[in-house]
Amino acid sequence: MDMWNRQKVAEKTMAEVFMLNGVTLQRADNNRVQGHMLMLEMLAPIPLHDDTVKALWPDGKAPKELPQLMFFDTLHKVLSDVESIQADEKNPNDCAKQPHDVTHTVDAIRYFAVSRVQAAMAEKQAEEEDEDENEDYESYMCGGEVTAGYIGA
Supply the pLDDT for residue 44: 93
Residue 108 and residue 60 share a domain: yes
Q: How many domains does the chain have?
A: 2
Supply the pLDDT for residue 67: 93
Residue 39 and residue 20 share a domain: no
Residue 43 and residue 4 share a domain: no
**Which residue range is the domain that position 13 belongs to?**
1-26
Residue 16 domain-assigned (yes or no): yes
Residue 57 and residue 3 share a domain: no
Task: Report the C-alpha gap between 31 and 123 in whole angstroms.
Answer: 31
Is this model's pTM higher than 0.75 or not? Answer: no
Residue 1 and residue 74 share a domain: no
Residue 89 and residue 57 share a domain: yes
Supply the pLDDT for residue 147: 66
SS3 67: strand
Residue 35 and residue 12 share a domain: no
Kindly give, in sequence order, each residue whose CB lies less than 8 Å from that of residue 30, ignoring residues fewer than 6 positions away: none
Residue 20 and residue 57 share a domain: no
Burial 39-77 (b: 16+ CB within 10 A, else e): beebeeeeeeeeeeeeeeeeeeebeeeeeebeeeeeeee
**β-bridge partners, 66:** 46
Under a CB-based contact definition with an 8 Å cutoff, are residues 110 and 40 in contact?
no
Residue 51 domain-assigned (yes or no): yes
- Supply φ then ψ for residue 66, to 5 degrees: -145, 155
Residue 131 domain-assigned (yes or no): no
Residue 100 and residue 40 share a domain: yes
Residue 78 and residue 10 share a domain: no
In degrees to the nearest 10, what's the CA dihedral of 28, 33, 39, 40? -170
Spans of the chain below 50 pLDDT: 1, 153
Supply the pLDDT for residue 117: 62
Supply the pLDDT for residue 16: 87
